[in-house]
Amino acid sequence: MGVGLFGAAWRSSNLSDTFRYQELESWLERGIRELRWREGERLPSIRMLCGERGLSKATVQHALQRLEARGLVEARPKAGYFVCVRSSDLGQPLSRARIEAPRPVSVSDLLLDIMGRSAAFDLLPELRCGDLPPGVVALNRSIGRALRRPAQGSYQYYDEPAGDEGLRAQLALHLSRRGWRVGLDRLCITSGCQNALFLGLMASCSRGDVVAVESPGFYGVMQLIEQLELQVVEVPTGNDSGMDVDALEEVLKRWKVRACIVSPAFATPGGASMPESAKRRLLALADQYDLAVIEDDIYADTAFGPVPDPLKALDDNDRVILCSSFSKSLSRDLRLGWISGGRWHERILQLKLVTQLASSRSLQQGVAEFMADGGYASHLRRQRTGLRERRDQLIAMLSRWPGQVRVSVPRGGLAVWAELSASVDTLEVYPKALEQGVVITPGPLFSSSGQFRNCLRISFAHDWNGARRDALTSLPGLLGLENSNSG
Ligand SMILES: Cc1ncc(COP(=O)(O)O)c(C=O)c1O
């Protein structure tokens, strides 16, 4: 058992009192790491711990006070001790990226291989995901109705480039619940978020320009940067508070950067979210250094708790290009997304027209009706509960891996970022895992400079049924963790 993330197991040995409090402290800490007690939940009472563990009150209090001093729990008068942990508190923080000079990107064949297997979010893509969730059944009915509607007559005509007004109205209403009011003329429907990011980059950058990205960060952005012949500079991104704005400032001082792509809500791969203070500083830097900020908001609706407001809600100077889609929250197969392009919006509308002409009217109308009927909101409520459960199951399973394992604990998104012993090479393991039918997402996919070889993104998008559990259980063997005692 590695001590980096998961502490020593409880052992009821004949220890002197000096060590008993340490044992209890470790046991409680491990329970917190394995999410037996989650953030905001109360730990067992002092009386209960004394009774169940055969300890004196002073020993229990000592252990709790030590956890409090380390910031893992807080004492609330007359109520007990409550968990107040963040993922960086779970052992040592995960490693940070290096800052390197801007350069062109060359996306690896490995990424294309994984994408070709439609596998970036499933260890066992062959399984597919079983029954449709009720929300998607209802969505399909709405789309079916829209397709069957008589007197459409419009099948021989393109929809307007900005997209169906009914869908834009539903999106505007949905976004207004997150503190951002947007006029329908400032929203444009796209073919997913990747397409929105593409339009945003095309509108705001020219060949050779430098774009700052999160590191580790979304590999799809690297592909776009490569295709548009831009250059990339990676900005270290933590697993709790997202892009490191101090590091961004350092980058901006050294190089002329045209745009910054950032996911303030549950960034992939680690699920980090930027605090409001960091978002405000980012926007101030964007003003100072004259940047476009391309906000990838795709994971916001997967939040397990309150959905964070978009960065765009703070954007007084029209510098933020908000990009999103239904791919993570509802269906990847819809291929429907949206963009609000700030000062580049007119150019984006023109680019949408030139590159796509229009989006499917019936599909948009079906989704708009699904939203208007409350189907999307109830789907999200159900999905959140499932995602959180599956995240907890995954973290509990990872806690039993041998060797050193440090894991992010996201509050939204579809994946955790796991950092393993430095000797592990996830790229080497990829083909070996593939022979067993298991598709892993190695860390270097999330960097253009080959960093993070000892890291993996592991998704909890799908049910941990028997086969997926077995696949996960086989990974420590494939990764060589069972022989590693570097703990
Ligand atoms: C952070 C991020 N942005 C954008 C996309 C692309 O989204 P879409 O399927 O809507 O094109 C993905 C898909 O994996 C993603 O993870």
Task: For residues 376-396, give the mean pLDDT.
Answer: 92
Is 296 close to ligand 1, i.e. is its CB under 6 Å away?
yes
Is 337 close to ligand 1, i.e. is its CB under 6 Å away?
yes
Instruction: Please choose from 190, 218, 294 the residue to mutate so as to test ligand 1's pocket, defined by most ligand atoms within 8 A of CB.
Output: 218
pLDDT at 249: 96
Is 213 close to ligand 1, i.e. is its CB under 6 Å away?
no
pLDDT at 248: 96
> Which one has a higher pLDDT value, 31 or 196?
196
pLDDT at 8: 25
* Ligand 1, atom nearest to 337 Cα: 10
**pLDDT tens digits, one per residue of 419-437:** 998 899 999 999 899 898 8
**Tokens 């393993």 belong to residue:** 420
Q: Strands 210-215 and 259-262, how do they pair?
A: parallel
Task: For residues 296-308, give the mean pLDDT.
Answer: 95
Q: Which residues pair with 320 in a beta bridge?
A: 293
* Ligand 1, atom nearest to 218 Cα: 1
Task: Give residue 19's pLDDT band: very low, low, confident or very high (50, 70, 90).
Answer: confident
User: What is the longest distance spanned by two Cα atoms in the chain?
Assistant: 84
* Ligand 1, atom nearest to 263 Cα: 1
Whole-number Å distance, alpha carbon 219 to ligand 1 midpoint, is 9
Domain 382-483 classified CATH 3.20.20.80?
no
Is 298 close to ligand 1, i.e. is its CB under 6 Å away?
yes
Task: Give residue 279's pLDDT band: very low, low, confident or very high (50, 70, 90).
Answer: very high
Domain 17-85 classified CATH 1.10.10.10?
yes
Q: What's the fold here for domain 103-111+133-375?
A: Aspartate Aminotransferase; domain 2 (3.40.640)
Instruction: Please choose from 321, 325, 414 the residue to mutate so as to test ligand 1's pocket, defined by most ligand atoms within 8 A of CB.
Output: 325
Whole-number Å distance, alpha carbon 193 to ligand 1 midpoint, is 5
| Tokens (6 digits) for 345 | 């919006």
Task: Give residue 251's pLDDT band: very low, low, confident or very high (50, 70, 90).
Answer: very high
Distance of CA 338 to the CA centre of its chain: 19
Rounded CA separation 156/150 (Å): 14
Is 332 close to ligand 1, i.e. is its CB under 6 Å away?
yes
What is the residue-averaged pLDDT of the chain? 87
Is 331 close to ligand 1, i.e. is its CB under 6 Å away?
no
pLDDT at 118: 61
Task: For residues 218-245, give the mean pLDDT.
Answer: 92
**pLDDT tens digits, one per residue of 192-208:** 999 999 999 999 999 99
231: left (phi over 0), alpha (psi -120 to 50) or beta: beta
Is 193 close to ligand 1, i.e. is its CB under 6 Å away?
yes
- The residue extents of the domains of the chain are 17-85, 103-111+133-375, 382-483
Q: Exposure string (b/e) for 162-199, b if CB count within 10 Å is 16 or more? A: bbbebbbebbbeebeebebebeeebbbbbbbbbbbbbb
* Ligand 1, atom nearest to 267 Cα: 1
Phi and psi torsions of 212, nearest 5°: -90, 135
End-to-end CA distance of the chain, in Å? 7
Q: Global pTM?
A: 0.82
pLDDT at 66: 87
Whole-number Å distance, alpha carbon 457 to ligand 1 midpoint, is 15
Task: Give residue 487's pLDDT band: very low, low, confident or very high (50, 70, 90).
Answer: very low
Share of the chain above pLDDT 90, in %: 62
Q: Are 242 and 267 in contact (CB under 8 A)?
A: yes
Q: What 3 state SS string does 402-461 have? A: CCCEEECCCCCCCEEEEEECCCCCHHHHHHHHHHCCCCCEEHHHHCCCCCCCCEEEEECC
